[in-house]
Amino acid sequence: MNFKLTSVSSLQLFQLMRFGAFILIGIVFTKTTLSTQSIGKYEQFLFLAGGVSFFWLNGLIRGLLPMAKESRNDGASPVFNSFLLISFFTLLVVTLLAVSGNLVGRAVLGGSEIPYLGLLLAYLFFSVPANLIEYFFLLRNEPRNIVYYGAAGFSAMIALVVLPVLFKLDIRFALYGLLLVAVLRYLYLLALMFKSQETKFSMAFIREHLGLSAPLILSALLSGSAQYVDGFIVSSRFDEATFAVFRYGARELPLAILLANAFSNAMLPEFSNSAVLQASLARIKKESGRLANLLFPLTALLLVCSHTLFPIVFNADFAESATIFNIYLLLIISRLVFPQTILIGLKQTALIARASFLELILNVSLSLVLVRVWGIAGVAYATVVAYLFEKIYLVFVLNRRLNIAPISYQNSFRHLFYSLLLLLIFFIVEFVIY
């Protein structure tokens, strides 16, 4: 492979390192003397930290990227002002959790209190703003620093989280390790901003940033809530065992999500200069083609192997989860189309929120209908159709309102060929072989 480190590939590598670090920590935990209950507390800690911040953090960062390279009369420091805005939201969430943490625990965790609430509040305060570091390097076109930072940061996290457990200490000390890494990352971000003199405050920038990001926050919230709605529909109609079968299968190909999202975010700053719009569209077309060449064959391989692997990796009770997993693999068809990247880059964020709202409505409606026909598989089919509808809607809007044809940013013939071939393999596996 003729691999070249670019803004896109460096951010993709960073996300892969993040994913690999958490997977490795989870594997090590299962091989130690830690009880399932202790591992559950660790997972609940991460789940809550992500659950209360993912949508607005995602929206604010994606809103920042198209603005950051624009020339401004006020000389505002984009990362610094974004840091202030993210810190404000973080403080708001920390305060709300401090006041109503027990109520949240009883609502989300089935009646129990939030484990290690004080640790969780401190972790949120330091870790959430620190997510700006990789984008600081991205905006300064320093791809090597993204990789160096990721390698050092996630190596330190693995060591500080895993070592206490290997020494048979309580899971609390692993969480202390997570907190220490978050504090170090936070201090590193402050040092980067002050060293580069990226510290000029601008209320005008913050207002524009918030206005651009608000629809993206709403979109992330709506899209993120879809999986919870699916789970609620399944749990309301089936027993706990069936719900477990659904949850174990209701997973996309992680590599596809990581690479596609990192690629999309890395491309957003490119749209700050309208003079190179055609070059940016051509780059999306080229890079998305590379992703398709990698991820479609990998998805096809998983489709063929999943029914054999699921009973081995889990147990025979989860054999039916393979069908759900195979249906969710079809989401790759919509994941590798990028009209949303262009719309966000051109600051047409309200259209993204509208599409997410329509997608959620369609997902819920179809799930309620198809669950009666195909059971839990019907809920999975509804998700695939709803996600595909959202992308088709955005492609249509992009063409209609901004006169940007799909062929300018997508190799339509190749994508259609890969998609039809994948659907054929899915049909053979699910309706002929199994």
pLDDT at 109 over 60: no
Within 8 A by CB and 6+ apart from 321, the residues are 245, 246, 248, 249, 310, 314
Q: For 362-379, how does the pLDDT look when each residue is reduced to its tens digit (9 = 90+)?
A: 999 999 999 999 999 999
pLDDT at 351 over 50: yes
Q: For 196-212, how does the pLDDT look when each residue is reduced to its tens digit (9 = 90+)?
A: 887 888 898 999 999 99
Which CA distances in Å does 251 have to 330, 403, 432? 11, 35, 23
Query: Whole-model pTM above 0.85?
Result: no
Tokens 């789970």 correspond to 231
Q: For 379-412, how does the pLDDT look when each residue is reduced to its tens digit (9 = 90+)?
A: 999 999 999 999 999 999 999 999 999 999 999 9
pLDDT at 104: 65
pLDDT at 1: 40
Which CA distances in Å does 422 have to 196, 292, 419? 48, 12, 5
Percentage, residues of the chain above pLDDT 70: 94
pLDDT at 178: 95
Tell me the domain boundaries of the chain: 1-201, 215-434
Whole-number Å distance between alpha carbons of 301 and 15: 23
pLDDT at 13: 92
238 or 89, which is more confident: 89
Q: For 326-341, how does the pLDDT look when each residue is reduced to its tens digit (9 = 90+)?
A: 999 999 999 999 999 9
